[in-house]
A and B are shown apart, each in its own frame.
Chain A
Amino acid sequence: DVKVTQSSRYLVKRTGEKVFLECVQDMDHENMFWYRQDPGLGLRLIYFSYDVKMKEKGDIPEGYSVSREKKERFSLILESASTNQTSMYLCASSLRTSGGQETQYFGPGTRLLVL
């Protein structure tokens, strides 16, 4: 079974703090993704990575950055947290295949509250 783990289930931070969210997968997947999940909006892609040290912007990258120094680990960074970044953050990974038939597997999520 694919296992995607996230460093925290719940996190409370203050406005302006730097926040690190960590994600680790144990299936040697090339692709990793960060989403945020908000009621009525579904999941929106923040950043993704195809390989170590590679990153691509998703649909809502503003206010976020990412780091992928090792294949199994993908970090999401909020440089200066703001209240509108209060959300559930989901990490996912997938195996690269030819033909694009890739299935994403999700971690349990980190619920972040920014005060």
Chain B
Amino acid sequence: AQSVSQHNHHVILSEAASLELGCNYSYGGTVNLFWYVQYPGQHLQLLLKYFSGDPLVKGIKGFEAEFIKSKFSFNLRKPSVQWSDTAEYFCAVNALRYGNKLVFGAGTILRVKS
């Protein structure tokens, strides 16, 4: 079965700390990869996506993610977090062999202390 694992359910950081959120998926073949963010009280927004090409993807608000095919991973990073990054982050994977269905991880709640 398809599955997407996010390693941490809750992360607490101080402002200016570096962030890395893990995401692993369980199937091979061609994949499209996404990170979405949900700020408190707001709707789910696309942070960044990978379809092909350079495995290091830049997104909005200083976020980036690296696709490592050999590790089935797509980790999200930010060098210096801000209080406004407090949100829930979801990794999602679409394996083309399964059509255009997205499979989401359980989410990681990030709290940034000011």
Residues of A within 8 A of B (CB): 31, 33, 35, 40-45, 48, 58, 90, 94, 96, 100-109
Instruction: Write the nearest CB–CB distance from A106 to chain B, whole angstroms.
Output: 4
A-B contact count (CB 8 A): 54
B100 with A42: CB separation less than 8 A: no
B: number of interface residues (CB 8 Å)? 27
B residues within 8 A CB of A35?
104
Q: Is the CB of A105 within 8 A of B105?
A: no
Q: Which residues of B contact A (CB under 8 A)?
A: 4, 6, 9, 30, 32, 34, 36, 42-46, 49, 51-52, 90, 92, 94, 96, 99-102, 104-107
Nearest opposing residue in chain B for A102, CB measure: B100
CB distance from B56 to the nearest CB of A (A): 18
Task: From the candidates A40, A45, A90, A100, name the one contacting B44 in the complex (CB within 8 A).
Answer: A90
B102–A106 CB distance below 8 A: no
Known: A42-B107, A43-B90. A105 touches B46 (CB 8 A): yes
Q: A40-B9, A43-B90 are in contact. Are A104 and B106 (CB under 8 A)?
A: no
Interchain nearest-CB distance for B96 vs A (Å): 5
Q: Looking across the interface, which residue of chain B has its beta carbon closest to that of A94? A: B100
